[in-house]
């Protein structure tokens, strides 16, 4: 499987919640066998711009979980604005091409707490047109502001509400715990993904 994680690091997330999000993703990554014949990971962070400096391409750590986790640990938090469409275009243009394996199942997981200020429908369709499973983990913002479910559905596509992971829509960033991370691994692998 080629698995890409797209992380919202806009100012609405906040540094304490960014740490919770990173721990959740780190726990999730740690449950997988990272090897060419099993799973490769790409990770990118965005706000109003995509952080290309610290992005992790699929080809960067094909057989090296420790290296992948170390690179992920160095991914910083900063930024303002939420341009999810821009991040999805970058995912389609860069992350889904650099190190992509034709025979591998493609999964893109977007974790976001806010409405995007740019179009998401066309960029999301580009990812889905490539045959990728595009899932969204919407997280209730710390402000308590309602999530834009219409926009989230534009990302997953018509009739794909089952690709919206709803666990954090009520409890927000507090829901991003180790148990939820383990359940996510089982959901996406169909079995525990441990080494």
Q: How far apart are the first and last CA of the chain?
A: 15
What pLDDT is stored for residue 194 in this prediction? 44
What pLDDT is stored for residue 79 in this prediction? 80
What pLDDT is stored for residue 193 in this prediction? 55
Number of domains in the chain: 1
Distance in angstroms (rounded) separating the CA atoms of residues 5 and 109: 5
| 62 assigned to some structural domain | yes
* SS3 state of residue 195: coil
What pLDDT is stored for residue 190 in this prediction? 60
| 116 assigned to some structural domain | yes
What pLDDT is stored for residue 25 in this prediction? 96
| 178 assigned to some structural domain | yes
The reply to whether the predicted model has a pTM over 0.85 is yes
| 32 assigned to some structural domain | yes
Domain residues for 97? 2-188
| 117 assigned to some structural domain | yes
* SS3 state of residue 188: helix
Diameter of the chain measured on Cα atoms: 42
Residue 114 CB: number of other CB atoms within 10 A?
Answer: 22
pLDDT tens digits in sequence order for the chain, 195 residues long:
999 999 999 999 999 999 999 999 999 998 887 877 788 999 999 999 999 999 999 999 989 999 999 999 999 999 889 999 999 999 999 999 988 888 899 999 999 998 999 999 999 999 999 999 999 999 999 888 889 999 999 999 999 999 999 989 989 999 999 999 888 888 777 654 544
| 107 assigned to some structural domain | yes
CATH code of the domain in which 157 resides: 3.40.50.410
What pLDDT is stored for residue 118 in this prediction? 97
Distance in angstroms (rounded) separating the CA atoms of residues 67 and 52: 18
Task: Evaluate whether 22 touches 75 at the Cβ level (below 8 Å).
Answer: yes
Distance in angstroms (rounded) separating the CA atoms of residues 177 and 165: 14
What pLDDT is stored for residue 12 in this prediction? 92
What pLDDT is stored for residue 24 in this prediction? 96
| 90 assigned to some structural domain | yes
């Amino acid at each position: 499987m080629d698995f890409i994680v797209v992380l919202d690091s806009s100012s609405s997330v906040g540094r304490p919640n960014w740490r919770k999000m990173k721990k959740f993703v780190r726990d999730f990554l740690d449950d997988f066998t990272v090897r060419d014949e099993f799973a490769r990971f790409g990770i990118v962070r965005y706000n109003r711009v995509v952080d290309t400096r610290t992005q992790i391409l699929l080809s960067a750590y094909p057989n090296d979980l420790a290296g992948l986790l170390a690179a992920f640990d160095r991914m910083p938090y900063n930024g303002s604005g939420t341009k999810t469409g821009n991040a999805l275009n970058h995912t389609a243009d860069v992350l889904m091409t650099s190190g992509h394996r034709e025979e591998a199942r493609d999964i893109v997981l977007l974790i976001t707490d806010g409405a995007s200020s740019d179009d998401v429908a066309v960029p999301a369709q580009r990812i889905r047109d490539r045959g990728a499973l595009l899932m969204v983990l919407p997280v209730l913002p710390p402000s308590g502001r309602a999530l834009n479910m219409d926009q989230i559905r534009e990302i997953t596509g018509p009739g794909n509400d089952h690709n919206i992971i709803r666990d954090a829509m009520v409890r927000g960033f507090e829901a991003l715990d180790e148990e939820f991370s383990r359940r996510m691994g089982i959901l996406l692998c169909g079995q525990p993904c441990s080494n």
